Amino acid sequence: MVARPRLTPAMADVRRAIREAWESYGVEEGDTLVIACSGGADSLALAAGALFEGKRAKVNVVSVVVNHNLQKGSKKIAEQAQTTLIELGFETVEVVEVKVISGSLGMEAAARNARYGAIDDFASRYGAKFSMLGHTLDDQAETVLLGLARGSGPKSIAGMSALSADGKYLRPLLGIRRETTVAFCVDSGIKYWQDPQNLDTKFSRVKARLNVLPVLEKELGPGIASALARTAEILQEDNAYLDAQADIAFHVCAKTTNNSVVLDVEELFQLAPAIRNRVIHNALVLLGAEPSKTHVDSVTSLLTNWHGQKPLTLPAVRVVRTGQEITLKSTKTLKPGAC
């Protein structure tokens, strides 16, 4: 086991962030938490800080290392992360290998889906309350910047939440800079892996990190990353309110069956556009679609620009207006109770 080093500001900041997140989201004595660890500075700082706080709070902390098998030597890197975690004092650490098939999603999205699936399976086996992820303020800033660049709308620009919408994932370090997690590891004597893909500008996120944000800092002054992260916090509050209103409106406007959603035209028309678009988006998602703004706008046109159009054929959903009803029907086989 690594000898306990003297407490430094970086170590104190990371530990405090973890402790405050646990207090905010109801982590209690006897709970089990999963640390998803890649072997990088962010996740190792999270792991070490959580282990320290876990011993004080009598919280059981376990860890999973996901090996995507996408890079040369990835198995060795995963095993080294496991060894480091055991040296820190973890009693339960597993390396889980996943198979990534890109398909229509692209490699990044497919790898993310495979990773989260493995984390979820591990958390389920250990009855974990949350899985903790090492995303930092810098990750948040990059997410917001990419959302702005893509014109993705408020949900994307709102970035990542400290607690995910499904209640599975906890991100205690969203207020911590990446340089602080690196300092934590250096101060603690923890050797961390530096992923070469973090320097590969074929990835949009790396371009934002290495090429765009430094220019913004230089030309507009320091504090850009923090400002982008604050933007995410503000939008998260706004989105939470609008989503709650959309849920209420959905129950007024919509009737659901096993594979379809029927929207009342008159009720839908009376809604403010921001709420109406969310109602339509939610209906599409309920039927197994992954709707874009273009898809939502296409359905909206049956409401606001109705002149007897033919049915819409969207990915996974067929949409038709008949009189005062718009019916969205899934073209996929849904699980029982999905609607």
Cα Rg, the chain, nearest whole Å: 23
Q: Supply 160's token pair.
A: 């990542």
Got the DSSP string for 219-257?
HH-S-HHHHHHHHHHHHHHHHHHHHHHHHHHHHHHEEE-
Mean pLDDT of 12-34: 98
- Give domain limits for the chain: 9-220, 257-330
> CA 11, CA 7: separation in Å to the nearest integer?
6
Residue positions counted in the chain: 339
Give the pLDDT score at 111: 86
The H or E element spanning position 17 is: helix 9-24
Mean pLDDT of 265-292: 94
Give the Å distances, CA to CA, from 231 to 140, 152, 207, 227, 274: 10, 15, 21, 6, 19
Mean pLDDT of 45-70: 96
Domain 9-220 has CATH 3.40.605.10: no
329: closest CA among 253, 237, 256, 248?
A: 256
Sorting pLDDT into bands at 50, 70 and 90, what band is 339?
A: low
Residue 152 has pLDDT above 90, yes or no: no
Angle formed at CA 35 by CA 31 and CA 41, multiple of 5 degrees: 145
pLDDT digits (tens, 9 = 90+) for 129-148: 999 999 999 999 999 999 99
> What percent of the chain is modeled with pLDDT above 70?
96
CATH topology of 9-220 equal to that of 257-330?
no
Domain 257-330 has CATH 2.40.30.40: no
Q: Look up residue 158 and give its DSSP letter.
A: T
Give the pLDDT score at 195: 84
Sequence-ordered list of residues with C-beta below 8 angstroms from that of 319, at least 6 positions apart, any chain = 298, 299, 302, 311, 312, 313, 326, 327, 328, 329
